[in-house]
Amino acid sequence: MLGKRLLFICLVAAVLGAAGLWVPSAQATDAYARQTGKGCIFCHQESTGGQLRTAGFAYIRNGYRYPISQAVLDKAEALQGPLHKTLRFVIGYLHLLAAVIFFGAIFYIHLFVRPTRLTGGLPKPERILGLSCMAVLTATGVYLTWARMDRWVQFRDNTFGRMLTVKIALFALMVAIGLAAVTVVHRKMRAAAKAPAPATAGGALSPASLAAADGQEGRPARILYQGKVYDVSTSPRWKDGRHFGKHQAGGDLTAAMAGAPHGPEVLDRLACLGALAADTAPPAPDARVRKVFVGMAYTNLALIFLILACIAVWRWDFPLRLMAETRPEVVAGQTCVGCHRQKTPAIVAEWENSAHGRLGVDCYKCHRANNEELILKAHLTHDRIPISPVVSPTHCSGCHPKEAEQFARSKHANTHEIMWRIDHWLKDGMNNAIERTTGCLACHGTEVKLVDGKPVAGTWPNVGIGRLNPDGSKGSCSSCHTRHRFSIEEARKPEACDQCHLGPDHPQIEIYNESKHGTIYHAEGYRWQFGPDDRRWTAGRDFRAPTCATCHMSSAGEMPASHDVTERLSWETQAPLTVRPADFKPFPAATDWRVERGKMTAVCRQCHAESWAKAHFDNFDAAVAHYNDVYYRPAQQRIDALYKAGLLSTGRYFDEPLEWEFYELWHHEGRRARMGAAMMAPDYAWWHGFYECKHRFNHVMDAARDLETGGAPSPRWDDFPGRFQEVSP
């Protein structure tokens, strides 16, 4: 049966081991991000860390090396099944518990008992506990190593493997020393302790006989104070030769008495055996054995600190690497930074001040060629590493997969194609390449083409949000998160949107500036927090009025953030006839407008009462119905009748005055009226909207009546500038 002291150690260890289950998992360090080019979300369930995905578990099994082979991924997926996860949990817990008990017992012996006082070797309870812990650590460690490593080469070809090798070697040495101490050395110390102690002249005790009187295994318990030997064998406070688990019999307690809560008067109750005589005999064999034992004990203590250092390096990284980084892609990234620091210092400065720079996500992580065709065409660095000048959402998805997926299905990513399907200026060829490149495509995005790995003039430079990229992806994240800072604070401000959402056809920024929301932002927005420390941008705490991102993208209460700006929309106000997003033929959304209306209402409810939000959307719905029924449908029916009668040509658009008038009715004034009503800008809803709609509508109807009355086709502008130029999709 274990003594009280060991029961106390086991209790503390069990509590610490159980508490370890609630300690958050070690988050991936900057070094891991540098090695993989991946962010937390690649390996963990959440961007802030936490439980591992299958890819994260495979990354560990692969020795913290990237890329990960399919075989390792398959094995990791199997090991992430319920059976293996449960088994790994149980074995990991046992490993942790055994380590805490083992280390705690060793620290206890060194701090309270002192190895120099264990003249008769380790007591039986400590020996059993130590051997049991070493056996559990060995068995569980073998399993956990197998669960992380696939090949022998992984023990030497990466930092993780080398650290694991060092830890295993240290543990093996510690076990070997421990086994020797509790077997061979312990038996010799026990035999020496049982041997009769040599007496000196006059019957006085020798130092050797005092050291043997440690009170263990039936031996007498004696102590020395100021040169006199006292017998404490019968004292209940010296059970098994220990005094309150701190002082060991068989030694000199003169110095310890000064720090005791009592004085030397307590010794008057004990039998004094006389003075300690000088020991002039040569050192007994047991003294040499005890020196070996003490040396082993302190060696194991040092090994424990080294093993803890290995564990600390794994969890929290260390500025020094065990092996130099030689992978070409990492060297390429370092080379890019060094070279561009001289050639384009402003770019490097922007990058260094970004989150990417702080995490070590260097040039190569974003500019690597990401498919076989692009690798063949890519620009090569000094080490012949393929580099792509065009950074696409595919590159960003490695660290931001959820955001990339949401963005890919949004109107933003597909606005290049939407533009060609809805806008007559492009699909009917009534403007030319330079007009499109410098105007429409600057926001909607070009189709970037490469020749010899370099973008073709006219398709580049371009960060249009609907850009078609050489790797087949759509969009450009840097439209909102401008390079090379990629600031989330910048993207949350309305200025990030005003580069495209302005002008006579979609003046959202002008509408916002006029609204009460915009007024508040311009008055006090400079005091708001656009990048709070807890990463939760919260209404009322960080800002007082919404920006574009607040309503269309940011989280609101329990509603998560989204990079799909198609969400939260209940009407398509850019369309000629206002329809639900799912009915918008150029780009039908896979959403239910009722659900999305609820999401937008949740945004409003952060600052407004439910009745206020409902009344606002009722007014907006009424404005939409008014535009559809009073302006667009009557005008469209009149225009359709003219086409059917042959009074308007069905060829190129904009080559007849009436087509121009009708286009501006819905594309300019009609949009402004609807968007002004949606965003609460009365001047745009009325004076720039419905007021202008009335003028335009009357012009359309007058021109239609003139054609119908005259009976002759409309005159055409055959010399229309830029007409019949080359067209894209």
pLDDT digits (tens, 9 = 90+) for 1-21: 334 444 444 444 444 334 333
**What does the radius of gyration of the chain's CA atoms come to, in whole angstroms?**
40
Same domain, 431 and 525: no
Same domain, 420 and 568: no
For residues 109 and 552, the model is more confident at: 552
What are the CA-CA distances from residue 726 to residues 241, 432, 443, 457, 719 (Å)? Answer: 101, 7, 20, 16, 16
Q: What's the pLDDT band for 59 if we cut at 50, 70, 90?
A: confident
User: Average pLDDT in the 667-682 region?
Assistant: 96
> Would you say residue 323 lies in a domain?
no
* Lowest-pLDDT choice from 174-188, 567-581, 644-658, 689-703: 174-188
> Would you say residue 288 lies in a domain?
no
- What is the chain's mean pLDDT, rounded? 80
Residue at 642: amino acid letter: L
For residues 240 and 677, the model is more confident at: 677
Position 581 scores a pLDDT of 96
* Structural domain harbouring 655: 488-710
Same domain, 20 and 95: yes
Same domain, 146 and 270: no
Give the domain-ending residue among 431, 460, 479: 479
* Lowest-pLDDT choice from 81-85, 353-357, 539-543, 693-697: 81-85
Same domain, 31 and 96: yes
Position 321 scores a pLDDT of 53
Percent of the chain surpassing pLDDT 70 = 77
For residues 607 and 727, the model is more confident at: 607
Same domain, 664 and 572: yes
Q: 3-state SS of 485-537? A: CCCHHHHHCHHHCCCCCCCCCCCHHHHHHHCHHHHHHHHHHHHCCCCCCCCCC
Position 3 scores a pLDDT of 43
Give the domain-ending residue among 455, 479, 503: 479
CATH of the domain at 515: 1.20.850.10
**Element (H or E) spanning 448, and its range?**
none
Residues ≥6 apart with Cβ < 8 Å to 519: 513
* pLDDT tens column, 449-487: 888 777 888 888 899 999 999 888 999 999 999 989 999
> Would you say residue 718 lies in a domain?
no
Same domain, 699 and 562: yes
Same domain, 438 and 506: no
User: Average pLDDT in the 284-300 region?
Assistant: 72
Residue at 130: amino acid letter: G
User: Average pLDDT in the 371-397 region?
Assistant: 73
Same domain, 103 and 203: no
* Lowest-pLDDT choice from 222-236, 459-473, 647-661: 222-236
> Would you say residue 724 lies in a domain?
no
Say if residues 178 and 300 touch (Cβ distance below 8 Å): yes
Say if residues 136 and 143 touch (Cβ distance below 8 Å): no
> Would you say residue 321 lies in a domain?
no
Q: 3-state SS of 279-308? A: CCCCCCHHHHHHHHHHHHHHHHHHHHHHHH
Same domain, 12 and 113: yes
Give the domain-ending residue among 479, 505, 539: 479
Position 247 scores a pLDDT of 77
> Would you say residue 715 lies in a domain?
no
Domain count, the chain: 4
Same domain, 23 and 108: yes
Torsion angle of C-alpha atoms 97, 100, 101, 106, degrees rounded to 10: 160
Position 19 scores a pLDDT of 37
> Would you say residue 379 lies in a domain?
yes
> Would you say residue 717 lies in a domain?
no
Position 50 scores a pLDDT of 54
Position 464 scores a pLDDT of 92
Same domain, 506 and 449: no
